[in-house]
């Protein structure tokens, strides 16, 4: 956790989007090689997904690692051990 997770500049573009990083895998459903990894916010909370971009089949859904910087507004105390009071 660093300060850049807490203070980030105002976006300088008209639209804000996430980068969909190609992972070089093949979709097991449609055999497409257009598979990408990117952050999402779904009913489980913030997650990193690897999805086929042609048929949207999920190849994996994982919790974000610190290097994923997702979500950007994550609490600075998130990684702290809980106290006996909870």
Task: Using CB under 5 A, list all residues that contact Zn ion.
Answer: 27, 29-30, 32, 52, 54-55, 57
Nearer to Zn ion, 33 or 75 (CB): 33
Query: 3-state class of 8 per DSSP?
Result: coil
In angstroms, the first-to-last Cα distance of the chain is: 22
Task: Classify residue 4 by its DSSP letter.
Answer: G
What is the smallest separation between the CB atom of 32 and Zn ion, expressed in angstroms?
Answer: 4
Residues 17, 26 contacting (CB under 8 angstroms): no
Residue 23 or 32: the one with the smaller Cβ distance to Zn ion is 32
- Kindly state the smallest distance separating residue 55's Cβ from Zn ion, in Å: 3
In angstroms, the CA 3 to CA 62 distance is 25
Q: How far is the CB of 17 from Zn ion (least distance, A)?
A: 21
């Amino acid at each position: 956790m660093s300060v850049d997770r807490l203070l980030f500049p105002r976006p300088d573009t008209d639209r804000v989007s996430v980068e969909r990083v190609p992972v070089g895998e093949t979709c097991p459903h449609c055999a497409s090689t257009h598979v990408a990894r990117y952050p999402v916010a779904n009913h489980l909370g913030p997650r990193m997904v690897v999805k086929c971009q042609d048929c949207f089949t999920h190849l994996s859904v994982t919790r974000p690692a610190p290097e994923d910087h997702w979500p950007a507004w994550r609490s600075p105390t998130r990684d702290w051990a809980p106290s006996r009071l909870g």
